[in-house]
Amino acid sequence: MRYDFLINTYETERLKLMSVWSEFKDEDLPVRPSRTDHRGRSVHEHMVHQCVSENGWFISMLGVDVGAPPLPNPETRLNFIRRYAEDSAKRLAALQSKDESWWEGDTKFFNVTRSRAWVMTRRIAHTSHHRGQLMAMLRMLEHDLHSNYGPTADTGGLMQNHAPTIYAYPDMDALLTGEADGGKKSRLPEAGEKAVTERPNE
């Protein structure tokens, strides 16, 4: 099916998002990019936005309703991970059941008409955008950062220096089990001799 790539991308994006959530600590949830500027979402608000926004898009634009409240109760880091894992798994299963005519059919995207394939592409980009903001916040909090697409400063540095890709968890089951046990992420290497950024400070 020509739209399998969108289904496969959504499946991997689920793991990437929750891997980033797993890098935070419980006490990080109230943190904002700037303590004096409340325009920037806190870590907690990012998790709320992801769950509510994705639920709303799928129901109103894609006609997929998982029949569950989008937010966990109580709103803890681990509960957000569990809630999103369960709901996004149901959305994934629904997408896997759709044929090409469904993907190519029109739907309403706010005030314009777009194909469902277009909406799904935009949804994936939307999630990636907010995940990138959270990865920047992890750096501001001086936390380690495993791979999300490729190497990071903590997995060995730059790709051109053959730094490895090291994911926090190999799959969804390992992530859910590991975080329930207090965190069992992949080990990160010790710092090497080569620069880990493109223009390091002298």
**For 28-87, what is each residue's pLDDT tens digit?**
999 999 999 999 999 999 999 999 999 999 999 999 999 999 999 999 999 999 999 999
Task: Tell me if 23 sits within 8 A of 168, measured CB to CB.
Answer: yes
What domains, with CATH codes, occur in the chain? Answer: 4-143 (1.20.120.450)
Model confidence band, residue 202 (pLDDT cutoffs 50, 70, 90): low
For 17-23, what is the mean pLDDT?
98
pLDDT more than 90, % of the chain: 95
pLDDT exceeds 70 at position 188: yes
pTM of the full predicted structure? 0.95
pLDDT at 193: 86
Q: Which residues pair with 108 in a beta bridge?
A: 113
- Name the nearest CA neighbour of 27 among 49, 44, 51, 50: 44
